[in-house]
Structure 1
Amino acid sequence: MTKVVIIGIEGESGLWVADLGAGTVTKAPQMAASTLEIANEPNSTGAAITKGINLAVVAASAESLSGGYMDR
């Protein structure tokens, strides 16, 4: 079963689609008045919405994750 994660990042407009099965992350197409776009509106004011997320961390680069900087 493919698992897909929709990601909204603070300070960035629009949403991202991470397809865990395919190993890809792509910009979500702009969807006028879609449920996801409406749900993403609080992101512009700094609100966070999580559903089914056990851990989420924003890092500057993949190297900072693999270097162990995020585990302290």
Structure 2
Amino acid sequence: MARVIVISMAGEEGLWVVDLDAGSVVPLDPPKAGGLNTVTDLRASGTIVTKGVDMAVVVTSAEAAFAGHYDG
């Protein structure tokens, strides 16, 4: 099973690719066609899109996450 996630945060323009196996996060060039382009267009109108993710939260820092804290 692939362990790659495409993410972004509200208010941010770009998309990021997270490869859990490689332990890497890299920016994704803006998609010009296909499903990710559709998602990008939906995001621009304020739509939140999730698929296959069962938990995601924004935290103030990595240290806060490691301590078990988030602004909920």
Question: TM-score scaled to structure 1, two decimals?
Answer: 0.80
Higher helix proportion: 1
> Are the equivalent residues in 2 in contact too, given 1:8–1:43 (CA < 8 A)?
no
Task: Specify every segment of 5 or more residues in structure 1 that has no aligned partner in the other structure, as ranges.
Answer: none
Moved beyond 3 Å, runs of 4+ = none
Equivalent pairs: percent with the same residue? 39
Task: Specify every segment of 5 or more residues in structure 2 that has no aligned partner in the other structure, as ranges.
Answer: none
The alignment status of 1:30 with 2:30, answered yes or no, reads yes
> Are the equivalent residues in 1 in contact too, given 2:16–2:28 (CA < 8 A)?
yes
Question: TM-score scaled to structure 2, two decimals?
Answer: 0.80
Aligned-pair Cα RMSD in Å:
2.1
Structure with the bigger RCO (C-alpha within 8 Å, sep 6+) is: 1
